[in-house]
């Protein structure tokens, strides 16, 4: 079946059930919560892909994702209690096991548990994140990321909840770095960030990869950094010299993976995980320094972002003592939120440096068109070996 009207890029911004992008994204596993933000015996409400769910951790520490509401009269299940690996509703005490099956109706004279089941979703914990498969039927194989499976420090950053459509972040490109991050680069003495750059992008069996070059490079100059890689549909992996306090001046390369997951049409969640090739006592010192600063600063970083967007302060006025990590995050926040929550992308003027944006949109349009027309989708081949060499720390 050929679509009567070809899909346009603006048709890809909605993510709810039944929408083109919503249906496509539900074919993949996604992170839904940072693991350390959920302790054993705790339940939380989450919103992902414009749908609400309950995520809870059993008393023994295993995460589960089930429906948002109780099947009895719709109470919010995150208000309830965890009992072993089951969840009991706060309203009238019905109890649901991890498969969503009702197993107790304490106030019913004639319980009918066997007829009551709430949806439950395959759930996994990996790299400091809780992943779920929210689609229909059996999940695809769980994707692992070999570059992050190696020895080293793994840090899952505080989740960024950003009030704009997920494409604002997926479309972020390499050309923004010397402009968006100029103030932080100058403040932190990182002049390597200020070189204007462009990327050469090519499609790969897993998505795309790029080579990042200075704009003036007509051949001869070295690439700015190792290639970046994109794993369909929403995962970006790259390396950068570490920005952690006390380690910035080392030739220490982090491998970072960023998942951009739509919360709904006008909010995204960014889950970033970083691998740093340190071990032993140095690894523990690095971990303590880095996550201590980031956790503390994550509390009010968006307040600063909103003040900048409102014109009450400038990016140059971001306080000196804020880490490079948080300062970069604020700069990206104001740029992406400043583009508008969901703009339909009808007013753009794309140029040569937007090659990556154009390629990614084409790939999404191609895949989703195939899905809607009922023809074969690309069977993405994700790497099973690391893509990066481990660079020896200086
Ligand atoms: S609404 Fe959950 S037990 Fe009644
Ligand atoms: Fe950025």
pLDDT tens, residue by residue, 294-305:
899 999 999 999
Ligand 1 close to Cβ of residue 94 (< 6 A): yes
Residue 217 has pLDDT above 60, yes or no: no
Fold of 29-133: Rieske Iron-sulfur Protein (2.102.10)
pLDDT surpasses 70 at 144: yes
What percentage of the chain carries pLDDT values higher than 90? 74
pLDDT at 325: 87
Which residue is associated with the tokens 């998942």?
259
Cβ atoms of 333 and 197 closer than 8 Å:
no
Fold match between domain 29-133 and domain 146-373? no
pLDDT over threshold 50, residue 193: yes
How many alpha carbons fall within 13 Å on the CB side of residue 97?
A: 7
The reply to whether ligand 1 has any atom less than 6 angstroms from the CB of 72 is yes
pLDDT digits (tens, 9 = 90+) for 259-284: 999 999 999 999 999 999 898 998 99
Q: Which atom of ligand 1 is nearest to the CA of 94?
A: 3
From atom 3 of ligand 1, which residue's Cα is the shortest distance away?
92
Residues with a beta carbon under 5 angstroms from ion ligand 2: 332
Q: Which of 43, 9, 37 is nearest to 350 (CA)?
A: 9
pLDDT the model gives residue 347: 79
- Residue 101: band (very low, low, confident or very high) from pLDDT cuts 50, 70, 90: very high
| Confidence label for 222 from pLDDT (cuts 50, 70 and 90) | very low
Which of 120, 170, 123 shows the shortest CA–CA distance to 142?
A: 123
Which ligand lies nearest the alpha carbon of 105? 1
Q: 57 vs 355, which has greater pLDDT?
A: 57
Taking alpha carbons only, the member of 328, 244, 240 closest to residue 283 is 244
Q: How far apart are CA 31 and CA 234, in angstroms?
A: 11
Ligand nearest to the CA of 68: 1
Contacts of residue 117, defined as CB under 8 A and 6 or more positions apart, other chains included, come to 71, 99, 100, 101, 102
Average pLDDT, the chain: 92
pLDDT digits (tens, 9 = 90+) for 106-142: 999 999 999 999 999 999 999 999 999 999 999 999 9
Q: Domain 146-373 is in which class?
A: alpha beta
Residue 221 pLDDT grade (very low, low, confident, very high; cuts 50, 70, 90): very low
Contact 16, 266 (CB under 8 A): no
Query: Of the bound ligands, which one is closest to the alpha carbon of residue 179?
Result: 2
pTM recorded for the entire structure: 0.94
Q: How confident is the model at residue 342 (pLDDT cuts 50, 70, 90)?
A: confident
| Structure-token match 């596993």, residue found | 29
CA proximity to 280, closest of 95, 153, 92: 153
Q: Is 73 in the pocket of ligand 1 (CB under 6 A)?
A: yes
The alpha carbon of 173 and the centre of ligand 2 are apart by a number of angstroms equal to 8
Domain boundaries, the chain: 29-133, 146-373
Ligand number nearest CA of 69 is 1
Average pLDDT over every residue of 21-34 = 98
Collect all residues with Cβ–Cβ distance below 8 Å to 67 and sequence separation of at least 6.
Answer: 53, 54, 77, 100, 118, 119, 120
47 pLDDT exceeds 80? Answer: yes
Map tokens 């481990």 to a residue.
390
Q: What distance in Å separates the CA atoms of residue 340 and residue 28, rounded to the nearest whole number?
A: 27
Q: In this structure, which residue's CA is closest to atom 1 in ligand 1? A: 73
pLDDT at 382: 96
Asked whether residue 155 carries a pLDDT value surpassing 70, the answer given is yes
- Ligand 1 proximity of 70 Cβ (cutoff 6 Å): yes
Per-residue pLDDT reduced to its tens digit, 63-79: 999 999 999 999 999 99
Ligand 1 centroid distance, CA of 50 (Å):
24
Of ligand 1's listed atoms, the one at least distance from the Cα of 93 is: 3
Q: Which position has the token pair 């897993």?
A: 206
Lowest model confidence (mean pLDDT) among 44-48, 203-207, 367-371, 390-394 = 390-394
Distances (CA, A) of 273 to 137, 138, 176, 252, 280: 28, 27, 21, 16, 20
221-245 mean pLDDT: 82
75 CB under 6 A from ligand 1? yes
**CB–CB of 170/360 below 8 Å?**
yes
Q: How far is the CA of 176 from the centre of ligand 2 (A)?
A: 7
307 lines ligand 1 (CB under 6 A): no
Identify the pLDDT of residue 220.
41
Q: Which two tokens stand for residue 388?
A: 């990066």
DSSP characters over 282-345: HHHHHHHHHHHHHHHHHTTHHHHHHHHHTTSS-GGGS-TTS-HHHHHHHHHHHHHHHT-S--TT
pLDDT tier, 236 (very low <50, low <70, confident <90, very high otherwise): very high
């Amino acid at each position: 079946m050929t679509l009567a009207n070809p899909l346009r890029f603006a048709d890809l911004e909605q993510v709810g059930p039944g929408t083109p992008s919503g249906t496509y994204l539900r074919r993949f596993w996604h992170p839904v919560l940072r693991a350390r933000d959920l302790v054993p015996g705790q339940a939380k409400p989450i919103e992902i892909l414009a749908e609400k769910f309950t995520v809870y951790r059993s008393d023994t520490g295993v995460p589960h994702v089930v429906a948002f509401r109780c099947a009895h009269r719709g109470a919010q299940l995150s208000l309830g209690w965890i009992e072993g690996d089951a969840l009991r509703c706060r309203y009238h005490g019905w109890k649901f096991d991890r498969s969503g099956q009702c197993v107790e109706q304490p106030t019913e004279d004639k319980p009918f548990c066997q007829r009551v089941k709430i949806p439950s979703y395959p759930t996994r914990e990996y790299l400091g994140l809780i992943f779920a498969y929210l689609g229909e039927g059996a999940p695809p194989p769980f994707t692992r990321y070999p570059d992050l499976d190696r020895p080293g420090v793994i840090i899952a950053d505080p989740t960024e909840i950003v009030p704009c459509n997920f494409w604002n972040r997926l479309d972020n490109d390499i050309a923004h770095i010397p402009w968006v991050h100029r103030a932080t680069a100058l403040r932190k003495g990182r002049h390597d960030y200020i070189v204007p750059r462009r990327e050469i992008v090519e499609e790969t069996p897993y998505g795309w990869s790029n080579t990042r070059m200075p704009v003036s490079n007509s051949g001869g100059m070295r690439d700015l950094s190792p290639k970046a890689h994109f794993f369909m549909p929403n995962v970006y992996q790259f390396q950068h010299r570490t920005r952690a306090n006390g380690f910035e001046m080392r030739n220490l390369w982090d491998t970072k993976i960023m998942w951009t997951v739509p919360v709904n049409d006008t909010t995204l969640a960014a889950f970033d995980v970083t691998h740093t090739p340190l071990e032993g006592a140095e690894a523990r010192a690095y971990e303590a320094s880095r996550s201590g600063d980031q956790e503390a600063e994550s509390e009010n970083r968006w307040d600063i972002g909103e003040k900048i967007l409102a014109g009450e302060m400038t990016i140059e006025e971001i306080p000196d003592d804020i880490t490079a990590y948080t300062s970069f995050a604020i700069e990206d926040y104001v740029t992406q939120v400043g583009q508008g929550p969901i703009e339909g992308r009808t007013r753009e003027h794309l140029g040569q440096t937007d090659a990556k944006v154009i390629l990614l949109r084409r790939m999404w349009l191609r895949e989703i068109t195939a899905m809607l027309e009922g023809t074969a989708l690309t069977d993405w081949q994700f790497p099973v070996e690391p893509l990066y060499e481990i660079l020896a720390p200086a």
